[in-house]
Structure 1
């Protein structure tokens, strides 16, 4: 690659290759990506969805290494693999317990695909995907609000009780 676009400029060979690969990436067009989150209790999952070839990873690990993988593969099974074939989804999840994390991952994957289709594909297919997901389970797209209950909600007698008294 003596006649490369950086030859003779004093750029080492490794950096020349890195610049060449960056130019190749830019020639494909702008990077198409969306970033969304899913929540369940105290777990938060952030999904980064971009144009790709059907890769789904959670915390850098492929799906085969994750427990309860069928639970967060529900969106893939519902919508079919052909809708996920053109995108790569990478999910980072933290907080909460194992099950809450699974539900947060599930929600973030669903929301990521809907957002990607809305932004880069077309509105009709986005609406079709959204309708399928909501018909199956609304929590795939909408986070359920979990609020702590106060003693006042349980009744006036409990609100004024002494905390050291036993409930009978």
Structure 2
């Protein structure tokens, strides 16, 4: 069967997933998923795999993720994995399982941090005055 390639995004992170027939191996940035740190990010990546375990047993998943922080990378990877598994199975039930669990498994969360503007320490806050 032909490999499936899917993409997931979150903030500044971009994840590309390649799904091929195999034995259920998951590799993230040339490391096994079991060795991926921190644990919270690993658990986030595991979510779509735990929702459809019978589908994951017959495929190898290779994830390449770049940009952003570790949590943004984890969320981009989980979106890409879920999209790839749905495309691999071509089963609408798989999409419904993901959609009912968390819609961001199918659709990327497009929100970014608002940029800082001049006149204050952050995006909206302004420097306080000490007179008046």
TM superposition score category, shorter chain reference:
0.7 to 0.9
The answer to whether the 8 A contact 2:29-2:65 is kept is yes
What are the equivalent positions in structure 2 for 1:87-102 lying under 5 Å apart? 87-102=59-74
Larger CA Rg, structure 1 vs 2: 1
TM-score normalized by structure 1?
A: 0.65
The whole-number CA distance in structure 2 between the counterparts of 1:130 and 1:167 is 50
Relative to total residues, which structure has the larger helix share, 1 or 2?
A: 1
Which 5+ residue runs of structure 2 have no aligned equivalent?
121-125
TM-score under structure 2 length normalisation: 0.82
- RMSD value over aligned CA atoms? 2.2
* Structure with more of its chain in strand, by fraction: 2
The unaligned stretches of length 5 or more in structure 1 are: 1-30, 119-125, 152-161
Q: Describe the superposition over 1:84-136 as per-residue Cα deviations: whole angstroms up to 9, x where unpaired.
A: 11111100000000110111111111111001112xxxxxxx21110010001
Give the number of aligned pairs: 121
2:86 and 2:94 in contact (8 A); partners too:
yes
Q: Deviations over 1:2-34 (max 9, x none)?
A: xxxxxxxxxxxxxxxxxxxxxxxxxxxxx4211
Q: Deviation per CA, 1:6-65, whole angstroms, max 9, x where unpaired?
A: xxxxxxxxxxxxxxxxxxxxxxxxx42110111110000100011111111001111110
Q: 2:106 matched to which residue of 1?
A: 141
Higher relative contact order (CA 8 A, sep 6+): 2
